């Protein structure tokens, strides 16, 4: 991938995606954190967060992300998803202390959201760069 | 002929399954539905019954649902060609073997 091909990406796409980037983060975490009040939750918000990887790939299709490290983060959060309910919910701690209910729901939504975000991001990057070279498209 | 037999198999399976399910209709009593609708707010502190079911009543389901993503990524890691594999074109394994032998 040469420098000229990267610079050949449309400036409109680069500017628009750059402006949308913080709003995508905001929307993703909004959907995740409000999961126990409004429709949404971990899986949906995580999918929104995964669009960050897609947006970055559309603008800058270079394989400089270490997807193995992203996968390690995803596995770490998956371990937390398996450990936290086992420690808090199945032992009855959340049922016994009602003050923990809200924080528990928010924590689980956050863990699931980040795990799904990283997992879908790894999937997208693996499919995008599975030949070692990103497919550049010009809109 | 094979297509006709395949279509017959599909349609026949559909008809049998539909007939069996229509013949054995079981009226489920709405115990779980009533319980969750009336008690989810006190039980879980959630304002949203879907979140209550997903994160409290059916936590096992959510845990294993999250595991599916790991299985998918492990499968992709194993079955997608790695960056070096595709350089020789579609017959990369054969060409690579010949290259290996010539290198030695």
Residue B45: strand, helix, or coil: coil
CB contact under 8 A, A37 and B69: no
CB atoms within 10 A of CB A34: 18
Please say whether the beta carbons of B52 and B36 come within 8 A. yes
Average pLDDT on B45-50 reads: 84
In chain B, the residue whose alpha carbon lies closest to the alpha carbon of A76 is B70
Please say whether the beta carbons of A119 and A74 come within 8 A. yes
Residue-range domain boundaries for chain A = 3-128
Mean pLDDT of chain B: 79
Q: Answer yes or no: is pLDDT of A138 > 50.
A: no
Q: Burial, A36: exposed, middle or buried (Cβ in 10 Å; 0-12, 13-18, 19+)?
A: buried
CB contact under 8 A, A41 and B51: yes
pLDDT of residue B40: 85
Average pLDDT on B53-60 reads: 87
Residues of B in contact with A89 (CB under 8 A): 56, 59
pLDDT of residue A60: 76
Closest partner residue to A82 (CB to CB) among B55, B63, B81 is: B63
Please report the DSSP string for A37-98 in residue order: TSS--HHHHHHHHHHHHHHHHHH-----S-HHHHHHHHHHHHHHHHHHHHHHTTTTHHHH-G
User: Nearest to residue A42, comparing CAs of B59, B61, B56, B51?
Assistant: B51
CB contact under 8 A, B63 and A81: yes
Residues of B in contact with A84 (CB under 8 A): none
Under 8 Å CB-to-CB from B45, ≥6 apart: which residues? A36, A98, A101, A102, A105
For residue B76, give how far its alpha carbon lies from the nearest alpha carbon of chain A (Å): 8
CB contact under 8 A, B80 and A75: no
Percent of chain B topping pLDDT 70: 77
Q: Which residue has the higher pLDDT, A27 or B88?
A: A27
pLDDT of residue A132: 52
pLDDT digits 0-9 by tens, A83-130: 999 888 888 888 888 888 888 888 999 999 999 999 999 888 888 776
CB contact under 8 A, B83 and A129: yes
Q: Answer yes or no: is pLDDT of B8 > 80.
A: yes
In chain B, the residue whose alpha carbon lies closest to the alpha carbon of A32 is B51
What the block records as the tokens of B49 is: 């019954």
Q: Answer yes or no: is pLDDT of A7 > 60.
A: no
pLDDT digits 0-9 by tens, A11-70: 888 888 889 999 999 999 999 988 878 888 888 999 999 999 888 888 877 777 787 888
Residue-range domain boundaries for chain B = 27-80
pLDDT band at B7 (very low <50, low <70, confident <90, very high): very high
pLDDT of residue B85: 58
Tell me the residues of chain A between 80 and 139 that have a Cβ less than 8 Å away from chain B. 81-82, 85, 89-90, 94-95, 98, 101-102, 104-105, 108-109, 112, 115-116, 119-120, 122-123, 126-127, 129-132
Please say whether the beta carbons of A32 and A45 come within 8 A. yes
Q: Which residue has the higher pLDDT, B86 or A23?
A: A23
In chain B, the residue whose alpha carbon lies closest to the alpha carbon of A80 is B63
Q: Answer yes or no: is pLDDT of A136 > 90.
A: no
Q: Which residue has the higher pLDDT, A33 or B89?
A: A33
Asked if B63 reaches chain A (Cβ–Cβ under 8 Å), the answer is: yes
Q: Which residue has the higher pLDDT, A103 or B30?
A: A103
Q: Answer yes or no: is pLDDT of A139 > 60.
A: no
């Amino acid at each position: 991938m040469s420098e000229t091909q990267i610079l050949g990406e449309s400036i409109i796409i680069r500017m628009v995606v750059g402006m949308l980037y913080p709003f995508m983060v905001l929307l993703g975490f909004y959907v995740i954190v409000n999961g126990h009040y409004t429709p949404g939750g971990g899986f949906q918000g995580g999918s929104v967060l995964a669009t960050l990887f897609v947006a970055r790939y559309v603008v800058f299709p270079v394989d400089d992300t270490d997807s193995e490290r992203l996968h390690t983060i995803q596995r770490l959060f998956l371990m937390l998803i398996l450990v936290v309910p086992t420690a808090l919910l199945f032992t009855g701690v959340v049922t016994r202390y009602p003050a923990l209910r809200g924080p528990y729901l928010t924590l689980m939504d956050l863990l699931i959201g980040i795990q799904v975000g990283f997992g879908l991001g790894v999937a997208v990057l693996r499919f995008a760069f599975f030949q070692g070279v990103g497919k550049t498209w010009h809109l | 002929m094979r297509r006709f037999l395949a279509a017959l198999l599909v349609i026949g399976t559909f008809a049998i399954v539909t007939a069996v399910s229509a013949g054995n209709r079981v009226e489920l009593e709405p115990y779980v539905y009533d319980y969750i609708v009336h008690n989810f707010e006190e039980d879980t502190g959630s304002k949203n019954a879907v979140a209550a079911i997903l994160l409290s009543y059916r936590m096992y389901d959510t845990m294993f649902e999250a595991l599916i993503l790991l299985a998918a990524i492990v499968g992709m890691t194993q079955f997608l060609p790695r960056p070096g594999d595709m350089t020789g074109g579609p017959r990369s394994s054969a060409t690579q073997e010949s290259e290996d032998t010539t290198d030695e």
